[in-house]
Structure 1
Amino acid sequence: MMYRSQTSLPRLPVPPIEQTIKQYLCAVRPLVPARQFAITRQKATAFLGSNTAKRLQKHIERYAADPAIPNWFRRWRNDEFPADRNPPGIFVSPVFAFTSSPSGEHKDQATRAATITHAATRFFVDLKTASFSVDYYLGEPSVCGW
C-alpha cells in the first residue's frame, strides 16, 4: 500500500545552495548568541561564494540525476546521519522541536514522554509494515521521500 505509487512519484528535488544556507541560518539563529550568529552568518556567506560550495552542489545534483538513485537524500539519512559522532541533544534530537501538548492534557514530563514514545512506536510499526497511504497534493502523488 505504502509503495504502490513509488515509481510515479516525482524525484526529490535538490534545493539550491542559497536555500540550504538560508535554512541553516534560520535553524542556527535561536541556538547561538547574537555575536556568534554574526560570525556564523559571515562564514556561511563566505562558504556560499566558495568553489567548495559550488563543487559540492554540482556533486549532489549529479548524484540526484542518476536514474539508479531513487532518492539522493536517502544515503545520507540512512548512513551518515546515524554515524554522526556529535553528542545527542540539540545537534540531532528532534525532542527540542516538541511543543507542549496541544490539548493541554499531558502536563507532567513522564506522561508527555510516554505519549511521544507511544506515538513514535506506532509510527515505526506502520513504517515497517508499509501501511501508510500515499500522500496526495492537488490530486497527484506528492514528492518521494523514500
Structure 2
Amino acid sequence: TVSVLYWPLRVDPSAPAMTTLPMYKHQQSLPALPVPSVEETMRRYLAALKPIVSAESYAAAETNANAFVGSAEADRLQAHLVRNQAATPNWLERLWSDSYLMDRASPGLHVSPVLGFDSQHVAKPLGNDGLAVGAALCVAALQHHVAIEAGAVAPNMVRGKPLCMEDFNWCLGP
C-alpha cells in the first residue's frame, strides 16, 4: 500500500551539514534502532496487555501470540521489518507516523505527548489571568519552534547518553 499521510522530514539530522548544529551534534553517534525478534515483540505485547484485560481475554491473546510466533506470516512480516531497517535510518518512523496520522481522533488532545506540559512555571507569575497565561504559552511555543528550526535546541540526554533529536522536527508541526 502507498502511504498518503507520510510527510518527509524537513531536514536530515544525520547529514554532515546538520551535525554542526547543537541539536544534532550526537546524531551520527547514535546506534540504529534495532528490530526486536518476533518472540520479544510478543513477550512485550502480552506484558502490556495483561493488566488491562480479563484473564479470559489474556488467555486467548496468549494462545494467538504463541500461534503467531514461528508462523509464515510472522516470518514474512519480520523479514519486511529487517529489509526496512537496512534501507532507512529508522525503520519504525514511517509506520509510527502513518498510524499516528491515520487515527481520526484529534492527535493534539488524545495521543500527543507534546501537549502534556506543566504550565505552572508560566501560570504562577501571571496569576489567574487566562488570557495572559495563554499568550505566554503561545510565545514560549513559538520561541521553541524557532529554536528547533535553527537546530539550536540542546540535545536531550538520559543518564549521560544522547537521545535522537529527529522527532523535534515534528514537535510543533511539519
Confirm or deny a common fold (TM above 0.5): yes
Query: What SS class does the counterpart of residue 23 from structure 2 fall into?
Result: coil
Partner in structure 2 of residue 30 of structure 1: 51
Gaps of 5+ in 1: 99-117
Tell me if structure 2 keeps the 8 A contact 1:60–1:72: yes
**1:71-119 alpha-carbon deviations (Å, 9 max, x no partner):** 111111222232135x68xxx7589xx9xxxxxxxxxxxxxxxxxxx8x
Equivalent residue for 2:79, pick from 49, 58, 63: 58
Aligned equivalent of 1:9, options 11, 21, 30: 30
Corresponding residue of 2:157: 135
The aligned counterpart of 2:61 is 40
Match in the other structure for 2:92: 73
CA deviation vs aligned residue, 1:6-36 (integer Å, no higher than 9, x gap) = 1222111111111111111111111110011
Checking the alignment, whether the CA contact within 8 Å between 2:155 and 2:162 is kept in structure 1 is no
Distance 1:128 1:71 in 2: 24
| Residues 62 and 2 of structure 1, relative CA distance in 2, 3 Å threshold | same
* Percentage identity across paired residues of the two chains: 36
Compared CA separation, residues 64 and 31, structure 1 to 2 (3 A): same
Q: Following the alignment from structure 2 to structure 1, what is the Cα–Cα distance between the partners of residues 54 and 24?
A: 44
Deviation at 1:126? Answer: 6.8
Structure-2 change in CA distance of 1:79 and 1:127 (3 Å): farther
Query: Structure 2 length as normaliser, TM-score?
Result: 0.53
1:101 aligns with: none
Q: Count how many residue pairs are aligned between Structure 1 and Structure 2.
A: 113
Note closer, same or farther for the CA distance 1:136–1:30 as it changes in structure 2 (3 Å cut): closer
For 2:51 and 2:146, locate their aligned partners in 1 and report how far apart those are by CA, in whole Å.
32
User: Larger RCO: Structure 1 or Structure 2 (Cα < 8 Å, ≥ 6 residues apart)?
Assistant: 1
TM-superposed CA distance for 1:70, in Å, is 1.3
Q: For residue 133 of structure 1, what is the amino acid of its counterpart?
A: P
Unaligned runs of 5+ in 2: 1-21, 117-136, 167-174
